[in-house]
Amino acid sequence: MPIEKRWVVRPQGDPRAVEELSSRLSMSPVLTNLLVQRGIDTVEKAKKFFSPQLSDLHDPFLMKDMDRAVARVEQAVRDHEKVMIYGDYDVDGTTAVSLVYKFLSQIGHKDLLFYIPDRYVDGYGISIRSIDHAVRKGVKLVIALDCGIKAVEKVAYAKERGVDFIICDHHLPADEIPAAVAVLDPKRTDCTYPFDELSGCGVGFKLVEAYSRKNGIPFSKIEHLLDLLVVSIASDIVPLVDENRILAYYGLRKLNSSPSKGLLSIIKICGLEGHDITIDDIVFKIGPRINAAGRMRMDEEDENAAPSGGHAAVSLLIEGNEREAQKFGNVIDSFNQDRKSIDRSVTQEAHDFIESNPQLKSMKSTVIYNPKWMKGIVGIVASRLIESYYRPTVVLTKSNGLVTGSARSVQGFDLYQAVESCSDLLENFGGHMYAAGLTMREENVAKFTERFNDYVERNIDPAILVPQVDVDSELLFSDITGEFHRQLNRFQPFGPGNTAPVFMTRGACNRGDAKLVGAECDHLRMDLTQRQKPYTTIPSIAFQQPTHYEWVRSGRPVSVCYQIVENHYRGTVSTQLRIKDIKPETGK
């Protein structure tokens, strides 16, 4: 049975501000209400929101240690030192490595190599193995991206071996900062940079921007790197406000007009060529393919060579030859197909286990362990289980002699605190309110399960366990004109901090042939209209919501909440409603 959702209508904007903006911007009050809800309550703020300017980016030298970082890169370039670009195996890390690698290549530095850790051999972050690899290759400087802020011992080890580090990270630091040449992280308590929500790739871009400023390279010469940066911003789910909105806005322009050869190959594989690519397209189509390489276990592993999982993703993203990029793209896509197959299989196993265990099924949280599951997909499985059971979830497996796993939360519950309450049982953990990674000894699994479940039982508000759909405002279908949709598109790019608006309409009914579509027949396609003039019928799709098929097909009334999207089909672009939830109107 599907989980019943509660709809919560957000507080509406101040009527006077809504009316003033509507008049001065010649825009529907429904849309100016969205502006005011987002804190954009003046014409000046609205103009800045709708027309982001690169000139409003913050000075990169406001970031602590930026001057030291630039000076060390200048030294490496001047002295022809061998530099290793190092990054995490996810999308943020691989795009960051690709961005910095492409920039240093662009300015003529030839002594470059890159290293992406293998999640099954190196684990997360900077590893001793990677430092030894750098020493063997004669590396003098490592630029670490999207990781390293807690690598105190690893950086000290590298220094003993004659290897300097520049760290570009965006995660929360511990009490001790690594003794690197420079540590760029806007979340440092001693860093006064005006915006602390950059992605890891974003911090790397600020290093590139600072180096360019110092060395007389115009911004136009590095703007081509923004297609990589927007892929990072979208995939890492950072807030799309302030600098991130500006960088994503121009990154999408680049991605849609002239993407790099590597990204173009993925765009073609995704079937997005010729489309207006959005943040959603990156999150659901482009990003997962890049991520897949780092998730998959390679068949062979040469201890003396750099890992080749996420390595393949970077090889794709820095490739300048279209034919070669297409080959790499096909490899990446095959990783993704394998990942999806394993993901579906493991999710079904986990689901079956929960369904066969009444005690586990009735709890307010899920902790599930199977030593045979692949480490690279447990985070995806945790997210899938939340879709079915909607409660804090931890999925564990075994890797390199330790139990390791991923945790995911539901809206409003601080998962990190729950994991931290069990820290004495853990070898390592990290994350934030809604996602975490953890490692423990196998003998601690039972105790961790008990303690974690007990913490959730005692601390979670039962109301949180009912999924919530936040509705921006009520809307009539007759309001959804071509001009309304055009103006709504100006609010993009959508993401955290500027979410795609969700509207609610009452008294809707199907007018046409409602169908269950998709391989599993679990998507409901219909043509919705309202029983009031002027009649407007809009094609609609409710993904994974087959429950109310018979009710809808009969033409009986429903209330729906939805997003307004563009549907691309056989070269035709049309307005479509992406239904978030359906409630039958039983009293009518």
Within a domain: residue 348? no
Q: Are residues 378 and 294 in the same domain?
A: no
Within a domain: residue 516? yes
Within a domain: residue 436? yes
Q: Are residues 438 and 480 in the same domain?
A: no
Give the domain CATH number at 489. 2.40.50.460
What is the structure's pLDDT at 307? 44
Within a domain: residue 345? no
Which stretches in the chain have pLDDT values below 70? 1-2, 120, 123, 294-309, 532-534, 570-571, 588
Most distant CA pair in the chain: distance in Å? 79
State the pairing for strand pair 435-440/402-408: antiparallel
CA 115 – CA 424 distance, rounded (Å): 32
What tokens does 294 get? 């780092």
What is the structure's pLDDT at 121? 73
Within a domain: residue 507? yes
Q: Are residues 32 and 124 in the same domain?
A: no
C-alpha dist (Å) from residue 171 to 125, 426, 558: 12, 20, 44
Burial 102-129 (b: 16+ CB within 10 A, else e): bbbeeeebebbbbbbbbbbbbbbbbbeb
Q: Are residues 330 and 397 in the same domain?
A: no
Q: Which helix (H) or strand (E) holds 578?
A: strand 572-584
For 211, the 3-state DSSP assignment is: helix
327, 333, 338, 343: CA torsion to nearest 10: 160
- The residue segments making up the domain with residue 400 are 357-465
Final residue belonging to a domain, choices 276, 300, 334: 334
Phi first, then psi, for residue 440 (nearest 5°) are -150, 165
Q: Are residues 243 and 98 in the same domain?
A: yes
Say which residues have a Cβ less than 8 Å from residue 553's Cβ, sequence separation at least 6.
510, 514, 526
Residue by residue, what is the 3-state secondary structure of 110-168? CCEEEECCCCCCCCCCCCHHHHHHHHHCCCCEEEEECCCCCCHHHHHHHHHCCCEEEEE
Q: Are residues 390 and 266 in the same domain?
A: no
Say which residues have a Cβ less than 8 Å from residue 542's Cβ, sequence separation at least 6.
523, 524, 525, 526, 579, 582
Final residue belonging to a domain, choices 282, 301, 334: 334
pTM over 0.85: yes
Q: Are residues 260 and 160 in the same domain?
A: yes
What is the structure's pLDDT at 437? 87
Within a domain: residue 264? yes
Give the domain CATH number at 294. 3.90.1640.30
Q: What is the mean pLDDT of the chain?
A: 90
Within a domain: residue 199? yes
Matching residue, tokens 């940066």: 229
Domain count of the chain? 3
Q: Are residues 183 and 239 in the same domain?
A: yes
What is the structure's pLDDT at 299? 45
What is the structure's pLDDT at 43? 95
CA 309 – CA 240 distance, rounded (Å): 29
Q: Are residues 39 and 104 in the same domain?
A: no
Q: Are residues 383 and 315 in the same domain?
A: no
Q: Are residues 62 and 74 in the same domain?
A: yes
Give the domain CATH number at 429. 3.10.310.30
Final residue belonging to a domain, choices 426, 449, 465: 465
Q: Which helix (H) or strand (E) holds 435?
A: strand 435-440
What is the structure's pLDDT at 568? 73
Q: Which helix (H) or strand (E) holds 241?
A: none
pLDDT, one tens digit per residue, over 376-401 is: 788 889 988 998 899 999 999 998 88
Q: Are residues 402 and 417 in the same domain?
A: yes
Within a domain: residue 437? yes
pLDDT, one tens digit per residue, over 531-564 is: 766 678 899 999 989 999 999 999 999 999 999 9
